[in-house]
Amino acid sequence: MKRLPIVAVAAVLMGFLSAACVDAIADVGKQGWSPLNKDVSIKKKSIVYPSKTTVSLWIKVVPAKDTGPLSDAGTLLMDKGRDDLALAYDHTGYLTEIDCLKNKHRELIAILYDANSNIIHSVQHEHASWEAIPSGSSYEAVQEAVCAYD
């Protein structure tokens, strides 16, 4: 994993994403998100189909206190010596790809935001690996919402 400076996040995104995807970062805390459950929303404007079976989109996760994702993000930041960021962390935006046919997903970029939707940490996963979508997970809800099945 490679930590990106804030300016680099925008540059990387401009290089391979549609304008709608880049706009999603700027307004992750604003309107335009479609909730899938109590913790997860998707940015419909960001949906891109790189292939017939693959979907790319932004996912916003706003976990309740003391839930796994919130604890995991805090632990990640503290492991990197950034406990100050762990205290400021409020929600996460993920640029995610979902392989609808193979039931897999991968996270290309993760961005941590504070309560005012300011970016406090970002990570680009240069060689993101595909992982199975667990049954009953938030990724399964995203898959059901964005994958078109014939």
Which portions of the chain are predicted below pLDDT 50? Answer: 1, 6-29, 66-71, 74-75, 77-78, 86
Buried b (16+ CB within 10 A) or exposed e, 88-116: bbbbbbbbbbbbbeebbbbbbbbbbbbee
87 HSE (CA, 13 A, CB side): 4
The DSSP letter of residue 64 is: P
pTM of the predicted structure, to 2 decimals: 0.68
Q: How many structural domains does the chain have? A: 1
What pLDDT is attached to residue 120?
83
What pLDDT is attached to residue 6?
44
What pLDDT is attached to residue 138?
86
What pLDDT is attached to residue 143?
94
What pLDDT is attached to residue 137?
86
Q: Print the domain residue range for 94.
A: 2-146
Read off the pLDDT of residues 115-134 as tens digits, 9 standing for 90 and up: 788 888 888 988 999 999 99
Q: Which residue type sits at 25?
A: I
Query: How do 54-61 and 40-43 pair as beta strands?
Result: antiparallel
What pLDDT is attached to residue 91?
83
Q: What is the Cα Rg of the chain in Å?
A: 15
- What region, left, alpha or beta, does residue 103 occupy, with left being phi > 0 and alpha being psi -120 to 50 degrees? left
Cβ atoms of 46 and 21 within 8 Å: the answer is yes
CATH number for position 136: 2.40.128
Cβ-proximal residues to 60 (8 Å cutoff; 6+ apart), any chain: 28, 33, 40, 41, 42, 43, 91, 92, 93, 94
Burial class (CB in 10 A: 0-12, 13-18, 19+), 28: buried
Read off the pLDDT of residues 58-76 as tens digits, 9 standing for 90 and up: 999 887 654 444 345 544 5
What pLDDT is attached to residue 15?
45
What pLDDT is attached to residue 87?
55
User: Which token pair is 91?
Assistant: 């929600």
